[in-house]
Every structure is written in structure tokens, then in C-alpha cells.
């Protein structure tokens, strides 16, 4: 009974509100005008005088013998360190990880590494899940997107002469 009374009041209110609607035509000539003013470069500029670049600092990269990777099985929490040579493959869970090459800066053999990995879901897979450079210092920059497994680069394996030179 109360619901019926509420429905009747709402219907009566909507009918009363509809009688107050007025329709006006728009007059485009009397509306606000929009004026486009060309910007003045000396007033509004995103460029600043940064001076002249006299030299560029570039650190040469050296090809390492392989890479040290870390794998995480998210299902059981197992963490495994994987040592892999350039040009070889390893299986971690259902994933096949191929390492093409690992590079590191000349002055920092142990700290920074860039590994070109191709990761497949299964031994017989044709299309890779991931293919590209992984960076040791920024694992989220280019990461493997897999529901169960994570793989990231820890460092490159330096040649023995590079290891003794950095110590």
C-alpha cells in the first residue's frame, strides 16, 4: 500500500515537472565570440636556452660470456638463480629461455647488465612470450608477462680479464 502511494506521488511529480519545460532556439550570432590569437614566441615558449652541448658522455659496452638470471615460480614461491651462456637455452618450469647476448658497461662489469632474451611457453612453442632486452637495474622496464613465472636479469658474466680489471 505504501509502495503504491509513493509511486503515485513520483508519477505526479514527474508530470508536474514536465509542464515547466521550455524550449528556446539558439541564436548563434548572439553567443560569445571565440577569438583565436596567435601565440607570441617570446611570451609563451616551452623551449629554454640550455646552452651548447660540447661533449657527449658514452660508456662503451662489452659483450659478456653469459648472464645470471633469476626465476620466480609465483605458485610455490620458489626462487632459482640461473647461470646461462650466450647462445644457450635453459628450461625453467614450462618456460624455455634463450640468451642471445649479454652486454655490460666497460667501467661497471658487476653492476649493470643488458641481456637479449627470447622466452617461449613450452619446448615446442613457435611464438615467443617475450623477446627483447632486459635491463638488470630496471627489471620492470621490459618484463616477462606470465601468470605463473617471472624471470629477470641480475648481471652479465664478465670475461676473466674484465673481472680482474674492475677489481
> What does the domain layout of the chain look like in residue ranges?
61-159
Task: Report which of 166, 33, 21, 37 is spatially closest to residue 106, judged by C-alpha positions.
Answer: 166
Q: What are phi and psi of 162, to 5 degrees?
A: -70, -35
CB 102 within 8 A of CB 85: no
pLDDT tens digit at each of 167 positions of the chain: 677 767 666 666 555 555 676 766 666 665 555 555 565 555 545 555 556 666 677 778 889 899 999 999 999 999 999 999 999 999 999 999 999 999 998 877 677 889 999 999 987 888 999 999 999 988 888 888 889 999 999 999 877 664 444 44
Amino acid at each position: 500500500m505504501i509502495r503504491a502511494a509513493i509511486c503515485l506521488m513520483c508519477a505526479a511529480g514527474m508530470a508536474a515537472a514536465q509542464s515547466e519545460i521550455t524550449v528556446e532556439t539558439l541564436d548563434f550570432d548572439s553567443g560569445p565570440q571565440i577569438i583565436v590569437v596567435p601565440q607570441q614566441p617570446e611570451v609563451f615558449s616551452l623551449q629554454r636556452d640550455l646552452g651548447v652541448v660540447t661533449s657527449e658522455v658514452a660508456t662503451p659496452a662489452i659483450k659478456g660470456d653469459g648472464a645470471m638470471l633469476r626465476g620466480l615460480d609465483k605458485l610455490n614461491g620458489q626462487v632459482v638463480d640461473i647461470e646461462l651462456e650466450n647462445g644457450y637455452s635453459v628450461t625453467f618450469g614450462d618456460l624455455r629461455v634463450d640468451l642471445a647476448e649479454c652486454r655490460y658497461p666497460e667501467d661497471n662489469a658487476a653492476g649493470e647488465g643488458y641481456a637479449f632474451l627470447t622466452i617461449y611457453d613450452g619446448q615446442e612453442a613457435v611464438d615467443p612470450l617475450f623477446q627483447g632486452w632486459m635491463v638488470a637495474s630496471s627489471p620492470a622496464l621490459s618484463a616477462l608477462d606470465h601468470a605463473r613465472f617471472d624471470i629477470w636479469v641480475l648481471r652479465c658474466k664478465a670475461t676473466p680479464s674484465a673481472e680482474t680489471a674492475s677489481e
